[in-house]
């Protein structure tokens, strides 16, 4: 089950076969059934995860009870609450499986162990953190400067396979709009075809 993880790592850094095996052996595999939670608000996030099968959503529930999806994580994506994991404070997020899923999890202790024993691993997480920051920055700019219609079309274009696996409610929560407004957007786009 670690082959996908190994490929992901080797896309970012170079490791010897022994180093990559040593690092991958620090992960524990976990199966998460559809609709079950890997993390709930208020819990301490004790893992960084790598999705090997399935789909997760990472979301926050605001004071009005509305779900705000930060991101979706499918196969070959990393998943965590980085604030809770890094600062060892209660999570403000939920991580829920949208499909029957499998994930490889590494603890903070084992991640720190890898930093000390396989120095290139620190570079791996630095590169991934930079890519995550870039994606979040672009998403923030899009949310501030693009219409909901444009954001919806961008989402479909950037994530055509992911789009097919999500409900309209989930997409609306990601775009920061109501389900009803998303339906209007979809009708408007369909009428132009």
User: What are the angstrom distances between the C-alpha of 75 and each of 7, 55, 153, 161, 177?
Assistant: 12, 7, 22, 11, 26
Q: What is the CATH number of the domain that holds 35?
A: 2.60.120.10
CB 104 within 8 A of CB 47: no
CA 53 to chain centre: 13
Q: Where do we find the tokens 């396979």?
A: 161
Question: What pLDDT is recorded for position 67?
Answer: 92
The confidence score (pLDDT) of residue 38 equals 98
- The rounded distance, in Å, linking the Cα atoms of 75 and 14 is 21
Closest CA to 60 of 85, 79, 40: 40
For residue 81, being part of any structural domain is answered with: yes
Predicted confidence pLDDT, tens digits, the chain (193 residues): 789 999 999 999 999 999 999 999 999 999 999 999 999 999 999 999 999 999 999 999 999 999 999 999 999 999 999 999 999 999 999 999 999 999 999 999 999 999 999 999 999 999 999 999 999 999 999 999 999 999 999 999 999 889 889 999 999 999 999 989 999 998 888 888 7
Alpha carbon distance 128, 132 (integer Å): 6
Residue 190 is predicted with a pLDDT of 83
Which residue, among 5, 6, 3, 84, has the nearest Cα to 38 in the 3D structure? 84
Kindly state whether residue 63 falls inside one of the protein's structural domains.
yes
In a domain, 186, yes or no: no
Rounded alpha-carbon distances, angstroms, from residue 139 to 7, 91, 172: 26, 22, 15
Q: Please tell me the pTM assigned to this model.
A: 0.92
Give the pLDDT score at 189. 84
Instruction: Specify if 38 maps to a domain.
Output: yes
Q: What is the total count of domains within the chain?
A: 1
pLDDT at 163: 83
CA distance 193 to 177: 23
Q: Is residue 43 part of a domain?
A: yes
In-domain check, residue 64: yes
Question: What is the residue range of 65's domain?
Answer: 3-107
Instruction: Evaluate whether residue 7 is within a structural domain.
Output: yes
In a domain, 126, yes or no: no
In 3D, which of 104, 120, 94 has the Cα closest to residue 19?
120
């Amino acid at each position: 089950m670690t082959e996908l993880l190994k490929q992901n790592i080797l896309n970012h850094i170079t490791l010897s076969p022994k180093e990559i095996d040593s690092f991958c052996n620090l992960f524990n595999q976990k199966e998460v059934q559809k609709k079950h939670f890997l993390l709930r608000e208020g819990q301490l996030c004790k893992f960084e995860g790598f999705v090997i099968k399935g789909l997760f959503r990472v979301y926050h529930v605001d004071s009005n009870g509305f779900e705000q999806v930060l991101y979706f994580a499918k196969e070959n994506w990393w998943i965590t609450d980085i604030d809770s994991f890094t600062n060892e404070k209660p999570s403000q997020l939920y991580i829920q499986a949208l499909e029957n899923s499998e994930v490889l999890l590494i603890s903070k202790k084992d991640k720190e162990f890898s930093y000390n024993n396989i120095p290139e691993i620190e570079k791996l997480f630095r590169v991934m953190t930079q890519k995550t920051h870039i994606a979040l920055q672009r998403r923030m700019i899009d949310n501030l400067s693009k219409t909901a219609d444009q954001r919806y079309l961008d989402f479909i274009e950037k994530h055509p396979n992911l789009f097919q696996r999500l409900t309209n409610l989930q997409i609306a929560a990601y775009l920061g709009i109501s389900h009803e407004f998303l339906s209007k957007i979809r009708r408007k786009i369909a009428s132009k075809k």
